Amino acid sequence: MPILGAKEMWQKADRWSAFESEMFHLNDKTNQTFCLQPTHEEMITKLIAEQGELRQAIYPLMLYQTGPKFRDEIAVGYGLLRSREFLMNDLYSFDVTEKNASDTYSLVNEVSIYYYIKFKTYKAKAVAIFKMNESELISKCSRSHIIRSIILQTYQRIFRDRLGINFYIVRADAGNIGGNVSHEYHLPCKTGRDSIAYCTNCNSGVSHDLLKHGEKPCYCSEKCISVVETIEIAHTFQLGDLFTKKFKAEYLGQPLKMNCFGIGIGRTIAALIDSMSPSAKALRLPYALTPFKVAIILPNKTQPETMAFAQDVINHLSQISSLQNDIFIDDRLDNSIGKRLLAASNLGIPHILVIGNRTARSLTSNPIVEYYRTEIHSDEPINVGDFDYVEMRYGFNLSTGKAHFSSITKIFWERFYVKRLSSMYTISNKVRGITVLTDNEKKLFSKEISLPIVVVPPKVVGRLIGCKEIANTTVERFCNKIKPVINMPTENEKAIVFCPEKMDDNTRNIVLKTIENLTGLMASFETYKVTLNYSDWPVKSCITAILPKGLEFGGFSQIGHIVHVNLREELLLYKKVIGTILLDKVTNCKTVVNKLDAIGHKYRTFKLDLLAGEENYKTEVHEEKLRYQLDFSQVFYNPRLSTEHKRIVQKISKRSIFYDCCAGIGPFVLPVVRNGAHHILANDLNPNCIDYIKRNMELNHLSFERLNLYNMDAAVFIKTVLADDLANEAKNYNISDSKNKTPADAHVVMNLPGMSLQFLPYFRGCLNNKLNLPDKILPFPFYVHCHFFVKAPDDLEDNWYFDEARNLICKSLGISKLHFTEVRFVRDVAGRKKMFCATFEVPGKLLFSSDTEELKIGEANNEELAETKGCNSDKSSDERTSAQRTFCETKTEKLEPELKKKRFMMEFIALPCRFSSIFRVTLSVRPLKPKTIQISSVKSLHIRKSIADKFSNRFRIDRVMYFGPELACLEWLMECGSTEVIMSDGTSITCRADMRRYISDFGFNFGSIPFPMVPFKWSPVLPTISMEKLDAIYDMRWAKKPDVYIVKVDATDSAIGDTGFQYFKECRQIEILKLNFCDFFTDKAIEHLISGRPSRTLRNIEIVANPYISDDFIRGIKRIRGLQRAHFYFLPCVAQQAGAVQSLKASLPNCRISFPELKEVGYGYGYTAENSSTK
């Protein structure tokens, strides 16, 4: 598209005079005047007019243009926002009739048009909404009463869905462009040069120009309308025949009708940078617009193994289609890693991978990938953590914009590192399985290693080590005995030590030839023998060596001289030897303890098991140049949260009010006191914490002038102390004569992740009747930083955790919407349990709410902490009988069936209205009233399902812990009426009596089943864990239970339901599962099946005649990767039968799948076989 436009063309459109002051002018040799065009409506219309009349089928005609435009700004500023040259993406459309043009405008924007009509009466004003076309509406009322509210969804897909930004759509003045209808798109920005008036009630708005002319967004209350600072990023116009009539762009003698749509590309990017970047030095953009998606920072040292590892990371990431050409590799090895990391962060690259070596503290010298991500509100990159080889091998998809990256195969890791370590730096298998570490056992750790060396004079060592041919073959440092260069007994000799795994005859010749060329010496290889003793091996190697294959040690935390471990159940047998190793090898360690239980005490402490060392729990830690003394047995302290402490403290200014509801020993309080604040109120329920805060204040020579300490429940603190102080500061805000004496904001920290959500409701209405403000808005912002846990029911994407974190906060506060300043992932606690910190500004209407139900102070502390909850304890027999009686006496009219799902049962099976025999055996239920018996078979089906879910299908933890998972599952299956269960010893169990005899033969008593005293935890089944390891964990965990397991389950015509499917999760080796004519389980059942061991062991599954399961259930079966046969028949709620089969075949290529069309009631076997034979 030409950027030059003739003056005559613009005068023909009557726009030269309107735009003349904003255009650049120039004259050619013939003194003809031209301009650099700021917009192209004239040029586009002239182009269409020159084509003559086009055939009707070509309309609507749409022309796209992306190019530069020019404007002679009076004052250039705001970077790209008001530049003299700017880039636009425009769409121009032409239609034959006005109606078609309006439809095109609606189609491009996916418009839903509503007309708001204002009716005036003597008593009130009302707004009515009519859904009708414009001609009908105009016939009923005048055009001046009509205000259009248009919902534009195409721009939502561009801005909101693709870029992830929020924006406003407002009615606007067409200005110099002209036209009938115009809309602007605005990005909210505090430094914006534009502004709009927007109604939060009906989501309508007007531009600043319309507002100046007296037009309002809507007719809602004035309180709903606010003025928002914004930046305009797009504009649309309905032009009609404004241009086509003047340029004679016609069809059948009538002017075409025209629309135009524009997005300012450069302006949008500039606006996003301005609104998202935390500072001038750190660029931040939406994920879709970042210059690169991943930055890889190579290590400064150039060891060949590490560089090969880095190259493999790059190769694997490059295979992801969404990351091609989006990987930034920083190989400026002369710059430090820190500088390159900061540079990548300043470019706004969302994912940064730093390849290097772990420190000695992390117990390994293997290469790692440190993962950082950039965040909108942080100048510096955020350290998420490290990846080890298991996470890499079963890695995740970085293209989702989350904190994971593609897989790096375990084979690669073994090729470069595991084999090398196993041949030279691996401890003897003689120590495997030891449970006590005495001097005799320590001798078993001794190992002699032979290394090739070359003896040379000391003066040539530096020259040789710097040579590439020699440096690449020397041994890596291991303890103090193995180093690349060692001293020889003779004073004038040193030896270069080579790695035996890198040496062959050819390499030896190259090394000797290199030494001869560099020094002129005729050197030769010798053998150097070194003995590695117990004291020479690192911690990780020693612990790995004593554990059975398949078990792994997770690591430790160090608090002063105390080393704290959290050993899983399968490692408890080796706790003493692990403790001794840690005591011997961890620097400054004097005490090693294991956490016996979850953090369940009201003072947030736990019982400690002394594994090794002295029983001295009083220690001292250092954090951010502050000293903290504590007694680890009386107070809780987490050394892994030092970064989180620093991050929160940085948000507190000298004029901030700071409240710490659960202060602990003061990791937030002391830095805030040192940095300065308006005043500080700290509280903790544990009196020992308050004592240690006082002691630590004195220890660090800090003043108590602005600090007040309280010892009470956090709920009481919020409702009384915090609320009173907040009300007092708000009252005195305008009284103070000095600005420095008034608070700038207030911050509340709630770092008690297990209970913080239970304290949030106490903010609701805490200022009611304590403060009388006319607008019920505090004169300063009031922020809450809440730390809490988010648990997932399954392996879910990171998106789910962030969404669930927001939902939990809103649910606790009892509101549907809340403005979050930041929702931050803090750390992983367990496989599906993560710690988050949500920062949000508390709405004034919440603090002054008067419709809140009275909450009982201290109620939260009386509840069991979330992280200590296993499953609910079973009710007593009296309680169960009462529950059954209450349920059976409930009118069946309340149990309305889902008719759509069960209509096929009426048509094909016509089940009789009765309870199955299993219910008569297992439940002591009073007979239903006679009128209840006279119900349809569909309602009977729903009633029987409800009863089964409530009683027979309850998951009983006590029975799993008492019988073991196999026998507990067997009991459940037979109690629910399964046809047959085959055990690993060949026993076939076909009835309840057989089951009870079989279990009793192992010495179990059905009459006295103790309730478990420890919380129940599921065994790990993640794909990152091999079956060998899973079996080792299973054998270790259930070693004291009978050595039998279920092989085949035929649950045909049984009452098994969703909740009961949890019994399958721990079963060792179920290979065949038949679920035919089982009408009590739904889509929820597959979640339990695929989250347990059957997802790895199941080979054959059958499902026939189920009225509940849908396409979701079939899709879930794709997670059972070892499946070899799957048969489905008579599943009416599977809507896309063919699609489900194709999806399964694509995911399970080795599985034989059959899903025949319904012909008759049965199993569908014959039809399948018949089809197979014909094929």
What's the rounded Cα separation, in Å, for the pair 71 and 980? 83
Would the annotation count 685 as a binding residue?
yes
Q: Residue 776: CB partners within 8 Å, gap ≥ 6?
A: 844, 845, 847, 848
Whether the bond between 60 and the residue before it is cis, its omega within 30 degrees of 0, is yes
Q: Look-up: residue for tokens 């953590």?
A: 385
Token representation of residue 996: 């009870």
Would the annotation count 1073 as a binding residue?
no
Which run of H or E residues covers position 210? Answer: helix 208-212
| DSSP-assigned letter for residue 365 | -
Which run of H or E residues covers position 658? Answer: strand 656-660
Of 584, 496, 484, the C-alpha closest to 536 is 584
The amino acid at 609: D
**Pairing mode, strands 745-751 and 782-791:** parallel
Contact yes or no for 813/846 (Cβ under 8 A): yes
Q: Look-up: residue for tokens 């028949």?
A: 1129
Would the annotation count 714 as a binding residue?
yes
CB neighbours of residue 1144 within 10 Å: 20
Of 767, 802, 770, 771, the C-alpha closest to 788 is 802
Contact yes or no for 257/249 (Cβ under 8 A): no
DSSP 73-98: -SS-BTTTTB-SEEEEEEEEEEESSH
CA separation (Å) from 113 to 116, 151, 204, 843? 10, 7, 13, 33
Would the annotation count 107 as a binding residue?
no
The amino acid at 1153: I
Q: Residue 569: CB partners within 8 Å, gap ≥ 6?
A: 1017, 1036, 1037
What are the start-end ranges of the H helices in 426-504? 439-443, 461-465, 468-471
CA separation (Å) from 886 to 881, 882, 889, 927, 950? 9, 6, 5, 12, 12
Backbone φ and ψ of 243, nearest 5°: -100, -40
| DSSP-assigned letter for residue 666 | -
Contact yes or no for 575/611 (Cβ under 8 A): yes
Residue 21: how many CA atoms within 13 Å on its side-chain side? 3
What are the start-end ranges of the H helices in 732-834? 756-759, 798-813
Contact yes or no for 398/380 (Cβ under 8 A): no
Helix (H, G, I), strand (E, B) or coil at 272: helix
What are the start-end ranges of the H helices in 676-762? 687-699, 714-716, 723-731, 756-759
**Pairing mode, strands 294-297 and 351-357:** parallel
Burial 843-872 (b: 16+ CB within 10 A, else e): beebbbbeeeeeeebeebbeeebbbeeeee
Helix (H, G, I), strand (E, B) or coil at 21: helix
| DSSP-assigned letter for residue 279 | S
Sign of CA dihedral 836, 839, 844, 848: positive
Distance of CA 531 to the CA centre of its chain: 48
Q: Residues at the annotated binding site?
A: 645, 684-685, 713-714, 751
List the binding residues for S-adenosyl-L-methionine: 645, 684-685, 713-714, 751
